[in-house]
Structure 1
Amino acid sequence: MHYVYILYSPSTDRYYIGETAFVSGRLEQHNSGFYKNSVTKIASDWEMFLEIECIDRTQALRLERFIKQQKSRKFIERLKSEPKIVDDLLLRFK
């Protein structure tokens, strides 16, 4: 099982989109500065905004790429407030 996750930092008011097989430890890694060259190093208050379960890594990578290409804060926020969008995207990238 793979996941697309979206983190939010209140101090920077920014979102971060990533993909992983292990969501539970990923948030802690981002907050601890484990990823030295990552955008997430700018803050240590990241919180889980949204977690999307995918059937495999290929689907997760395609979904992650699609969300990033939107370059839209409003789109990211709609993913959480309108779960049907996520369902439609998962079907699209199946």
Structure 2
Amino acid sequence: MNYCYILFSPSLRKFYTGITKDSIEAKIQKHNEHAYGKHHFTAKSSDWELLTNVSFLD
């Protein structure tokens, strides 16, 4: 399954849009743990929350 998701950071008052084949929960955890490096947009905060997601078969 493929997912398009939108995260929201209350502290930044910003949105982030991404795509993944991983589980949504694992992806949010990685964003909040800064697993993608300190220069990635989501590294500016650790309070990303799932706003919405859409799943696709391919």
TM-score (norm 2): 0.90
Cα RMSD, aligned residues only: 0.8
Match for residue 45 of structure 1 among 36, 47, 54: 47
Is 1:13 the equivalent of 2:9? no
Report percent identity of matched pairs. Answer: 36
Structure exhibiting the larger radius of gyration computed from Cα positions: 1
Number of equivalenced pairs = 56
Letter in 1 for 2:35: F
Q: Which has the higher strand share?
A: 2
AA partner of residue 6 (structure 2):
I
- 1:27 and 1:39 map into 2 onto residues whose CA distance is 13
Name the structure, 1 or 2, with higher relative contact order (CA <8 Å, separation 6+): 2
Please report how far the alpha carbon of residue 4 of structure 1 lies from its aligned counterpart in structure 2 after TM superposition: 0.2
Structure 2: 5+ residue runs without aligned partners? none
TM-score of the superposed pair, with normalisation by structure 1:
0.57
